[in-house]
């Protein structure tokens, strides 16, 4: 068996990637699916669209590679985190659409919980801030607003899962209702100090514990695929939320190692070791993938709109036909000419955490061209990452010395160079930038014996490309001050 199959279920598309023993991409397939916006600030997916797009990609990548399921040693799954699905255990049918991590419908309820004094208790147990970003309040909303859902839940008839749970339930024909610790740690319901679903948190949100999946380690054999959909009986042996998977894919296994993933959002994680600690800068503490089956932690800063700002230029403004066109358009001008775009389309994440912020484009002039807007959009991604890394540096004893990067937008050289310029440290991009999927592959391969150890994997890795800072410190500081000015203007737009 010469391949590992990684399922990478993301916010806007589902991908399947076959990796070879040297960690390189042998083949991949990808299918986008519909984004549903029922109301302002609401974001949903059809759970069956998630499932069918992912299964179609998996079968397609095997078919076009002429790889048989028996040639695949194991399967790893990585997924958009926090996105919430509730389904009936008997029928397997969802009771409502998947509520996506970007969705803000529970923001008011989160404010009520904070006003009641629940914030510190939640933070001490979960490492998280009370925010509609996380799964718990989304489950509560479904139980309160879908007719008959709460009664079914009280009778033990409903199952909750993040996307990994939903996929595995269907891949195993309902035999396995599981999640891993990285996904569990994003729900507002999992005690990451005591390693269990927390009864008091479940009571706080009025959620029956019977809905919760069994929690396993990220690198652990779960069971074989039992569907008859062209995947044979491939063993599922790795599960991780997308950002922890990327952290593992970058082999950030030691305290101080940090990576940023440029996807729909941007997610900066730094390994802080086996001691639980809380950020003083509004970052969250989350569980990472552990091969030793010990709880290990990372600080994380989540940026809600990263690469999605490019999709916005493509789909809403029509400035580009394909996302990959953004770099060429941005290079039609020499600079953004002080045009600043704050993409707070669904509020602001770390380190601001303002669900009431709104997007802002400021600095428009008569000579403003599409290229200026494109460049400001790319720069907005780097500015947000710089804000999070600055907060992270203040939380840890030593400043980050280099930033490892991955995800689709990391292929953009203009963006990566500007990121290095803003941070004043090297930005390192590996040869294989799909480290979210690669991390899931590593986890599955290590659990199944495909690879013997992380040390073996290290020897197979390419050094990648380093972007060294070229902008002077004073210029970088001035650019960031202008950005901060714009961010403050975008906050509390709805009057809250």
Please enumerate, by residue number, every residue annotated as part of a binding site.
Answer: 11-13, 15, 81-82, 133, 242-243, 264, 307, 311, 408, 412
Give 20's DSSP letter.
Answer: -
The β-bridge relationship of strands 258-262 and 465-467 is unpaired
**Separation in Å, CA 132 to CA 108, 206, 261, 420:** 9, 16, 21, 32
Cα separation, 36 vs 45, in Å, equals 6
- Contact call for residues 252 and 297 (beta carbons, < 8 A): no
Buried b (16+ CB within 10 A) or exposed e, 202-239: bebbebbeebbbebbbbbbebebbeeeeebeebbbbbb
Instruction: State both tokens at 373.
Output: 């807007």
Cα separation, 466 vs 429, in Å, equals 6
Binding-site annotation, residues for ATP = 11-13, 264, 307, 311, 408
CA 52: distance to chain centroid? 20
Cα separation, 7 vs 76, in Å, equals 6
Residue 181's nearest CA partner among 160, 197, 168 is 197
Phi, psi of 304 (to 5 degrees): -70, -40
Cα separation, 99 vs 77, in Å, equals 20
Instruction: State both tokens at 288.
Output: 């990472």
Instruction: State both tokens at 224.
Output: 């074989």
3-state SS class at 439: helix
Please list, in sequence order, all residues whose beta carbon lies within 8 angstroms of the beta carbon of residue 324, skipping any fewer than 6 positions away. none
Binding-site annotation, residues for ADP = 11, 15, 264, 307, 408, 412
Cα separation, 406 vs 262, in Å, equals 6
Quickly list H helices, 250-367: 308-315, 326-330
Binding-site annotation, residues for glycerol = 81-82, 133, 242-243
Buried b (16+ CB within 10 A) or exposed e, 155-190: eebbbbbbbbbbbbbbbbebebbbbbbbbbbbbbbb
- Contact call for residues 164 and 180 (beta carbons, < 8 A): yes
Place of tokens 């953009």: 412
Cα separation, 483 vs 281, in Å, equals 19
Strand partners of residue 201: none
**Separation in Å, CA 196 to CA 41, 199, 345:** 32, 9, 34
Binding-site annotation, residues for sn-glycerol 3-phosphate = 11, 81-82, 133, 242
Cα separation, 348 vs 265, in Å, equals 11
């Amino acid at each position: 068996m010469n391949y590992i199959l990684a399922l990478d279920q993301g916010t806007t598309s589902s991908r399947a990637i076959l990796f070879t023993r040297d960690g390189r991409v042998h083949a991949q397939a990808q299918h986008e699916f519909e984004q549903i916006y029922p109301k302002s600030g609401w974001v949903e997916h059809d759970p069956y669209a998630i499932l069918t797009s992912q299964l179609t990609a998996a079968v397609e990548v095997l078919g076009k590679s002429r790889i048989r399921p028996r040639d695949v040693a194991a399967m790893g799954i990585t997924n958009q985190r926090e996105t919430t699905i509730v389904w009936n255990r008997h029928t397997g049918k969802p009771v409502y659409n998947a509520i996506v991590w970007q969705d803000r419908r529970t923001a008011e309820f989160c404010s009520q919980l904070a006003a009641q004094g629940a914030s510190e208790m939640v933070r001490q147990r979960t490492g998280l801030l009370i925010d509609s970003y996380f799964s718990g309040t989304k489950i509560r909303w479904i139980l309160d607003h879908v007719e008959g859902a709460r009664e079914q839940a009280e009778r033990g008839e409903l199952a909750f899962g993040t996307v990994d749970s939903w996929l595995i339930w269907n891949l195993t024909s309902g035999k396995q209702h599981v999640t891993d610790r990285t996904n569990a740690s994003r729900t507002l319901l999992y005690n990451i100090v005591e390693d269990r679903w927390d009864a008091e948190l479940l009571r706080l949100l009025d959620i029956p514990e019977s809905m919760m999946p069994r929690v396993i380690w990220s690198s652990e054999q779960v069971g074989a695929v039992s569907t008859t959909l062209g995947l044979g009986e491939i063993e599922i042996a790795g599960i991780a939320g997308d950002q922890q998977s990327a952290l593992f894919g970058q082999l950030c296994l030691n305290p101080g190692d940090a990576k940023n993933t440029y996807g729909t959002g941007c997610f900066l994680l730094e390994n802080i070791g086996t001691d639980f600690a809380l950020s003083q800068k509004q970052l969250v503490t989350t569980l990472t993938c552990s091969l030793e089956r010990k709880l290990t932690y990372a600080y994380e800063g989540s940026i809600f709109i990263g690469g999605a700002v490019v999709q916005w230029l493509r789909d809403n403004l029509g400035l580009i036909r394909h996302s990959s066109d953004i770099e060429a358009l941005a290079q039609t001008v020499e600079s953004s000419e002080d045009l600043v775009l704050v993409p707070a389309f669904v509020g602001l994440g770390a380190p601001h955490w303002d669900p009431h912020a709104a997007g802002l484009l400021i600095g428009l002039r008569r000579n403003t061209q599409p290229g200026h807007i494109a460049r400001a959009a790319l720069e907005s991604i780097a500015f947000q990452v710089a804000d999070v890394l600055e907060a992270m540096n203040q939380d840890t004893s030593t400043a980050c010395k280099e930033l490892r990067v991955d995800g689709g937008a990391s292929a953009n050289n203009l963006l990566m160079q500007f990121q290095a310029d803003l941070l004043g440290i090297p930005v390192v991009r590996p040869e294989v930038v799909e480290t979210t999927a690669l991390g899931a592959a590593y986890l599955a391969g290590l659990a199944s014996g495909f690879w013997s150890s992380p040390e073996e994997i290290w020897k197979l890795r390419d050094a990648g490309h380093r972007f060294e800072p070229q902008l002077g410190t004073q210029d970088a500081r001035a650019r960031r001050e202008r950005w901060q000015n714009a961010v403050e203007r975008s906050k509390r737009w709805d009057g809250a």
